[in-house]
Amino acid sequence: MTLFKIFISLIFYFFVNQAYCETIKTELIKHQNDVKASFDKLSKTNRNFFSYTITKYENEEGDETSSIENHSPSSNDVQSWSLIEFNGQPPSEKQIKTYIENKSKKVKKKKNNQTISISQLVDVNTLKILTEDSNVIKSSFMVGYTKFGEDAKKKLEGILTFDKKNHYVKSIEITNKENFSPMFSVDISQLKLTLSFIKIKDAILPRGNTMRLIGSMAMFVEIDEISTVDYSNYTL
């Protein structure tokens, strides 16, 4: 091959490669915008308009609790909730009273904007497409929630699954690659958090979440927690 042909080949390769990189960049920007739009729709979906059931299970160092709650639309946020079952049994009056008190605190906390939003967890600008087929896009992301600690950003990794057909974020999974400390004297050796969502007509709603947490506090107190929350029976 002559020097001229080699030169032409290099120029051709440069432009083809540049066009390919621009295409990849455009697809990534579109994906990031689609994810942002999905999160925006999730935040704007008002669950207060829906009736639904929540089934919870927790295991903290072997101490197991479970409950079934029901939500029905009401002008009063607290009165819209009812405790159906606690630890497999109908709840006592004391348990119902405690439940209502806890709901009142959560409603107040939510009104004071002290809850975590999904967009705080997922740093959308760090999304990178891993795989894609006709149904879903799987991408990685950095965890943006600052209360995990600055050190945690390098030690946590996230995977996001986007439903291409229905155009929404189907699930988010966050795990740790190394031990991290979200606060003083707390060391987390294992974290796995999974959040899943469902789309009903034009509304995006939580479908469930699971968390596995293992670590220690002040070197002497063991942390070993499992929790699951399932949302079902959504009706308008």
Q: Which long-range contacts (CB under 8 A, 24 or more apart) does 220-225 make?
A: 222/61, 223/61, 223/186, 223/188, 224/60, 224/61, 224/62, 225/58, 225/59, 225/60, 225/61
**pLDDT in the model for residue 166:** 95
Least confident of 9-18, 48-57, 165-174: 9-18
Reported as a pLDDT band with limits 50, 70 and 90, residue 161 is very high
Reported as a pLDDT band with limits 50, 70 and 90, residue 16 is very low
Q: Measuring CA to CA, how many Å separate 236 from each of 154, 169, 203, 233?
A: 42, 22, 11, 10
- Does pLDDT of 77 surpass 50? yes
* Beta carbons of 209 and 182 less than 8 angstroms apart: no
Instruction: Give the predicted TM-score (pTM) of the model.
Output: 0.82
Least confident of 8-12, 16-20, 221-225: 16-20
Backbone φ and ψ of 213, nearest 5°: -135, 125
- Does pLDDT of 105 surpass 50? yes
State how far the Cα of 190 lies from the Cα of 25, in Å rounded to an integer: 34
State how far the Cα of 200 lies from the Cα of 189, in Å rounded to an integer: 37
Q: Which long-range contacts (CB under 8 A, 24 or more apart) does 217-222 make?
A: 217/185, 217/186, 217/187, 218/185, 219/185, 219/187, 222/61
State how far the Cα of 63 lies from the Cα of 91, in Å rounded to an integer: 18
State how far the Cα of 33 lies from the Cα of 15, in Å rounded to an integer: 27
> 165 Cβ partners below 8 Å, 6+ apart?
135
> 5 Cβ partners below 8 Å, 6+ apart?
none
* Beta carbons of 179 and 129 less than 8 angstroms apart: no
